[in-house]
Every structure is written in C-alpha cells, then in structure tokens.
Chain A
Amino acid sequence: MLPLIGLILGIILGLILNIPVPINWSKYLGIAVLAALDSAIGGLRASLEMKFNEKLFFTGIFSNTLMAAFIVYMGDKLGVDLYLAAVVAFGVRLFQNLALVRRHYFQKRHWE
C-alpha cells in the first residue's frame, strides 16, 4: 500500500515540477524508468521471499542504472542501438520477478 502511495506521490511531484529534459536525454530517461520499475518489483519479490537486504537493494539500483546509462551512452557514441540490450534485460527481469511475486501471493493464500 505504502509503495503505491509513494508512486502516486512521485507522479504528482513529477507533473508539478515538470523538469525540462533535453530531447537527446529521453532515451536515458526511459532506461531510468525501466531500472526503477525493475528495482521496485525486484525488491517486492525479495521481501516476499524474506530475503530483502537494504544494502543489496540500493546498490543494485545504482549499479543497474549506471550500467544501463553507460550502455546507452556507448550505443549513442558507436551508432548502435545498444540501449535495446538494457531494455530487453530489464524487461525480461521485470516479467520474471512479476511472475514470482504473483506465484508467491497465490501460494500464500493456498497455504493459509
């Protein structure tokens, strides 16, 4: 519940702030969105599996985002759409984690 409120709060904040982002940065923004989404779902999954570790969580976010940004940057410089790699990686992970979270909830219901 709390994360959902946080998400809505964030969206409202973003719309109010309306931070101007240059056009060439929009790719990075997309990747950042994916990374954040992946981290949120990943964290949820870890917490459901009782494996949540704060340090791991935050370092994961940073390293993932930075790596993704680096890949996008390299792609820009080399003229190859490398950012697709980041998109695919995050996407796959996202769906995997989502599936696990779903399974977890159903199993819980099942056991109780």
Chain B
Amino acid sequence: MKRNWHLSITLVCIVLGILLATSFNTQQRNREALNTLRKQDLIKTVRELEKSKAKLEIEIKDQRAQIARYEELAAKNQGILSTYTKELDKVKMAAGLVQEKGPGIIVTLADNPQYPKDDPNPNNYIIHDYDIRIVVNSLWGGGAKAISVNDQRLISTSAIRCAGTFILINSTRLSSPYTIKAIGDPEKLENALNEDINSRRFMNEIANFYGLKKSVTRSPSLVIKGYNGGLLVDKAKVVEGGD
C-alpha cells in the first residue's frame, strides 16, 4: 500500500516535471516568437517587393528593347532622325543604359571571415558602404567609362548606402563579397586607386590591418550590363539658375 502511493505520486511528479519544463520552453519560445512575428512580416514584405521589383525590371528591359526597335525602324526611314538616334545612343551610353564592353579592372572586396572574438567592435572587420564609395570614386577619377558593383550598374542617380547587414545599390541588397568592375584604361584605373589618398589608405593600410580580403585584377575584356531600373526622380528638382 505504501509503495503504491509512492509510485503513483512519483508518476504524477514525472508528468508534472515534463509539463513544467515544456511550459518553460514554450514561454521562452513565445517571447522570441512575438519579436519574430513582426520581423517575419517585414521580411515577407521586403521579399515581395523585391520580387515585384525584379518583374518590373524585366518589363522595363522589354519596353526599352521595344523602343530601340522602333528607333531603328525610324532611323532607317528618315535621314534627319538618324542623327537624333546617334545622339540618343551617345546619351544612353553616358546614362549607363546600354551594355559596355572593353578592357578594365576588377576590384574584389570581402569581409574578414574570422574577426577576433575579443574585439568589441566587429564593424571594423566588414566592408562598409563608404569603403565601396571610396573605391568607386577613385575609379571614376581614373576615367572609368562604366562601373558595376555585383552586376549593379552605377548611373548618375545610383546611391551606395548601408542598410543593416547589407549594402544597398540601386535599391538592391548586396552582401560580401563585392565585385567592382570598371571599364577604362586598366593602368590609369589602377593608378587612380593608388593616387587617391582615401582609397590608398583603405586598400593598403586598413584592409591589411583588419584582414579584409581584396584583390585587383586587370582584364582585357569586361562586359558591364546596362542599368535596368527606373529612371524617374520624383522628389529631387532642378535648382533654378544652377547648371
């Protein structure tokens, strides 16, 4: 009899223990879940927007191809229009809307895969938006005709900015490693990287000190695709009297 009740209560106690532990775990999970719910919503929104953006970009590409076809037809038909068409092609090239081919250099930058755990500031060991800006600016200075970062063509309205753990270029999320392609005279471009004090410091001192991966290679023939995004600017306005 005595053993009986001992065993019964022990059994219930085992169940009670399991329930308690499960309850505890569930509570812990719930706390996380409440935070992740909002996050998941946001992630979903971003994903959907990115999908629709990709679709729209394809649409833009198609439309532009259509326009180009019409332009060709028009150019064939009329002499006066062909001048304009040539002009238009030049402008398109300058605007970065068409594919560019030619020699150039490829600069690859990547985060340090293992930063020391005792360093309180892991930010030192990753590539930032301003690092890419510095390099890109030097390349423009070296007379680059076209530049792309991870196949995002840089145009006059392109911004290189930081968004959490990503770098946003043309509103597209990019992450390490970053491949910067620049078309131009390879020697001039490479010299430009060394001549500009900021990029020289970054490429030689900072990158080496923090173990950031970098490489600069010359390429006899690079292909940089045209920009496929929208060109509408709805907030910025031309300043009166500015040029």
Question: Interface on A for B, CB 8 Å cutoff?
Answer: 2-15, 17-21, 23, 25-26, 29-30, 32-33, 36-37, 39-40, 43-44, 46-47, 52, 54, 57-58, 61
Contacts and interface: CB of A to CB of B under 8 A. Distances in A.
A36 B25 contact: no
Contact of A13 (B6, B11, B14, B25): B14
A47 B26 contact: no
6 contacts: A3-B6, A9-B17, A10-B18, A12-B17, A15-B25, A36-B15
Contact of B22 (A4, A14, A44): A14
Contacts of B26: 21, 23, 25-26, 29
Interface in B15-52: 15-27, 29-30, 33
- Interface residue SS majority, chain B: helix
Nearest to A37: B16
A6 B14 CA distance: 5
Contacts of A58: 8
Nearest to B6: A2
Contacts of A25: 26
Given A7-B17, A54-B4, A29 B22 contact: yes
A57 B7 CA distance: 12
A41 B19 CA distance: 16
Task: Give the interface size class of chain B.
Answer: 20 to 34
Nearest to B18: A14
A18 B21 CA distance: 8
Interface of B: 1, 4-27, 29-30, 33
A5 B10 CA distance: 8
Contacts of B27: 26
Contact of A43 (B9, B15, B19): B9
Contacts of A61: 12
Given A47-B5, A58-B8, A40 B22 contact: no
A4 B13 contact: yes
A33 B19 contact: yes
Contact of A23 (B23, B24, B25, B30): B30
A90 to B, nearest CB: 13
A60 to B, nearest CB: 10
Contacts of B1: 52
Give the one of B4, B11, B17 with max A CB within 10 A.
B17
A6 B19 contact: no
A52 B11 CA distance: 15
Contacts of B4: 52, 54
B17 A11 contact: yes
A5 B21 CA distance: 15
B23 to A, nearest CB: 5
B21 A10 contact: yes
Nearest to B11: A6
